[in-house]
């Protein structure tokens, strides 16, 4: 991998990382300031508080999802250091920077991904036909 590509990929990953850290920190701040600025807290009726609970759960799930994405980014940065990041899993070619910017965790190049999708569609079609054929046989039997 040449130096420019390395620097570019690193930039893509670090930008994405910073975005997510900001979002998570923003959320944490929201949750905290809501608690601090809400003198009514503690006198919510049951419906209100269960609604707040659901809201909390959603927030928590979102934060958890972002934390998982952060792990993936760290993993990608590690692979970048090793020089294995940004290569297609199928053909070993470099995945374009444009593609990685849109999909930082892409493991296949565009061509291989498309070929895979076509193959999957074909498999689904074959499976459907097979299903229809066996249904027909069942009816005969």
Radius of gyration of the CA atoms of the chain, in A: 24
Binding range to Zn ion, per CB under 5 A, among 3-11, 26-34, 37-45, 81-89: 81-89
CA distance 89 to 14: 22
3-state SS assignment for residue 69: helix
* Continuous segment of H or E residues that includes residue 64: helix 46-82
| Interaction between residue 106 and Zn ion (CB under 5 A) | no
Q: How far apart are CA 85 and CA 75, in angstroms?
A: 9
Q: Is the dihedral of CA 67, 68, 69, 72 positive or negative?
A: positive
Is residue 59 a contact point for Zn ion (CB under 5 A)? Answer: no
Out of 34, 90, 94, 97, point to the residue binding Zn ion (CB under 5 A): 90
Q: How many chain residues are in contact with Zn ion, going by CB under 5 A?
A: 5
Applying CB under 5 A, does 112 fall inside the site for Zn ion?
Answer: yes
Please report whether residue 100 would count as binding Zn ion according to CB under 5 A. Answer: no
Q: Which is nearer to Zn ion, 12 or 112 (CB)?
A: 112
Per CB under 5 A, 109 contacts Zn ion: yes
Minimum gap (Å) between residue 115 Cβ and Zn ion: 8
The answer to whether residue 91 forms part of the interface with Zn ion (CB under 5 A) is yes
Long-range contacts: 97-101, Cβ < 8 Å, 24+? 97/5, 97/8, 97/9, 97/12, 100/9, 100/12, 101/12
Nearer to Zn ion, 89 or 136 (CB): 89
Shortest Å distance, C-beta 85 to Zn ion? 14
In the complex, the residues that contact Zn ion under the rule CB under 5 A are: 88, 90-91, 109, 112
């Amino acid at each position: 991998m040449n130096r420019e590509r390395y620097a570019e990929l690193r930039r893509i990953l670090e930008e994405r990382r910073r975005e997510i850290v900001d979002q998570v920190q923003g959320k944490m701040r929201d949750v905290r300031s809501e608690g601090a600025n809400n003198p009514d807290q503690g006198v919510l009726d049951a419906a209100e508080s269960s609604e707040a609970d659901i809201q909390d759960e959603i927030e928590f799930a979102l934060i958890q999802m972002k934390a998982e994405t952060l792990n993936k980014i760290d993993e990608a940065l590690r692979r970048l250091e090793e020089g294995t990041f940004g290569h297609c899993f199928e053909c070993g070619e470099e995945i374009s920077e444009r593609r990685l910017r849109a999909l930082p965790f892409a493991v296949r190049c565009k061509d291989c991904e498309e070929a895979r999708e076509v193959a999957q569609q074909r498999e689904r079609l074959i499976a459907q036909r097979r299903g229809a054929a066996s249904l027909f046989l069942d009816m005969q039997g």
